[in-house]
Amino acid sequence: MANRKLYLHYLAFAGAIALGIILRFWNLDLKPLWMDEVITAIFSLGKSYNDLPLDVVLPLKRVPEIFTLQPGVSCSQIAHNLVRQSTHPPLFFCGMYSWLEWLSPLGSEWVEKLRSPAAFFGVGAIVTIYYVNRIAFFPFAGLTAAAFMAVSPLAVYLSQEARHYTLPMLLITLDLLGLVQIVKDIEKRQKVRFWVVLGWAIINSIGLYVHYFCILAFIAQMATLLVLICWRKVNILNKRQIWLALLLLTSIVTISFLPWLPVVFHDYSRSETDWLPSPQNIAPLYQTLMSWLLMVVSLPVENQPLIIAVISGLSMLFFGMWVGWRIIQGLRQLWYEQSTHLVTFTLLSFSVWVLLEFFTIAYLLGKDITAVPRYHFVYYPSFCALIGAGLAQSKNEKNIKNSIFTLYSSILILVLVSFISCIFVVYNLVYQKPFEPEKVAQNMNQDPSIPLMVVVGYRDYQDVALGLSFALALEPIREVGRVGIGGVGEEKDIVLSSASPSSYVAFFKQSPDLAPVLQKLAQLPTSTTTKLNLWVVGPGRKRKDYPQQITLSQQMTCSIDSLQHYRIGIPYQLYRCGN
């Protein structure tokens, strides 16, 4: 009987992993790349913004050629590019470059290859969270946590992003595994093991070079241990040895990060972080609660008819309240159980410290990171562990109040609802891509038979990445049979031809307004086409900034189409051109 239970347990664990793999790799290349993913691609391919074809007209069909691997690039060169042109530590991008180099040539599946490491790291987090709860609580709690993470909409969303979220999430989960083991050692052994502390320190150090938010996780871990030792009055006989071990941990992590510390202070003051909003009253509080809800259930609300949005919103709210009630009941029992009290406090304390750091950044530094659901990955592993333990606790009670059927049906309902939410995630109905590149492409392609030009008036390189995301989404849906012109970065011999519905994209610097962009358009070589749809993307501009007419190639007049003005965080306007 015991062997059969063990077999079923590990069979269920394998099933959770398999389900997590399926959801993370399902339609991995279906959704178009958005701005941040384009930035990931540029640096992960060993390139920089200096390699982009700016101030030239480029055939749309040649845009994918920008995203080819630059051979022979070292990690130090990638780090140098990031220091000059980005706000991220280098380790993730160095690893991505090695991965893409190994898969080279990338071919037409380059988007899937770009996103696949995030999916692999997401699967790794499922395995790790199982062992966190198995060590902290009991095996069934590990199984429940793994099953929940496998189908959590947030986890699947992050695993399908070509960004450095699932790797630090995996590292933070490993940190929690080490933290739980240290707390267990303090409680039972009255000492900590050197190899555990050393491994914990190394993982924390790696995390700091992967994502700056790992600094928040490290501070939260140290604060949790200090509270346990100093204020929780835990009975510890060998405090000196524990203090020395923690001092060693802090020293290793701090010293390892010193070379990059000046870059951190420099990155904080860069303009790339200015997009984060200032907190509005108690907005960080309800935004955090909303992010908790989206970790469990995500139904279509964005860009939906009002009736669907209301039904989905209310359904999510009531389901979240039911799940929350179940979890609180289980956590309350874990809190009062002597064998699980300390680890429950540890995971709760870690989560609370990270949230306090989030609120501090929002209210004191004026950057409300709580408004961005993906940033909550910092404490998501502890949140997931607590959900798994809370739901599984009733199976471990001495006086079972609910039947085994009720227990398993509750877990099954959660998994089923979260699984349905993941389907919406995979098909871009929830956690929709910012700036909606797919929708922008569809709007711009409303006249497939007419030649098209998209002009992006960029202020900085992020605007260029945004324009490239639009171009990547637009290119596959334009008709085949376009006229090629020159090579990437070649400005000479640019001729717009009326022989086929050609498509082009251009990036012109706007400063301080659209006037330099309009001047560039007027100076383009003579066009042979008699008809053209011109889309002008103007980040930072208002509708009134768009002139009624634009002169193209000193001969073609482009008139504004007042019915074709859109705004998705940035405006884009259609001009209809003809001789």
Residues 392 and 407: their CA atoms lie apart, in Å, by 8
pLDDT for 236: 60
Q: Please name which of 104, 117, 150, 105 lies closest in space to residue 37, comparing C-alpha atoms.
A: 117
Listed in sequence order, the DSSP H helices in 152-208 are 153-159, 166-188, 194-208
pLDDT for 234: 56
With a CB cutoff of 8 Å and minimum separation 6, the contacts of 188 are none
pLDDT for 430: 93
pLDDT for 446: 84
pLDDT for 154: 96
SS (H, E, C) 505-516: EEEEECCCCCHH
C-alpha atoms less than 13 angstroms from C-alpha of 563 in its C-beta half-sphere: 2
Tokens representing residue 285 in the block: 């509080």
pLDDT for 192: 77
pLDDT for 166: 97
154-171 residue pLDDT tens: 999 999 999 999 999 999
Asked whether 161 and 37 are in contact (CB, 8 A), the reply is yes
Residues 424 and 426: their CA atoms lie apart, in Å, by 6
pLDDT for 492: 37
pLDDT for 229: 80
Residues 378 and 264: their CA atoms lie apart, in Å, by 18
Domains and CATH numbers, the chain: 106-270+282-426 (no CATH), 437-578 (3.40.50)
285-305 residue pLDDT tens: 999 999 999 999 999 998 899
Residues of the chain with pLDDT under 70: 1-2, 189-190, 232-239, 394-404, 479-501
With a CB cutoff of 8 Å and minimum separation 6, the contacts of 405 are none
Strand order in the sheet with 571-578: 57-59, 503-509, 452-458, 531-537, 571-578, 556-567, 549-552
pLDDT for 1: 63
Query: What's 31's DSSP letter?
Result: S
pLDDT for 401: 52
Asked whether 208 and 221 are in contact (CB, 8 A), the reply is no
Would you give the distance in Å from CA 165 to the centre of its chain?
Answer: 5
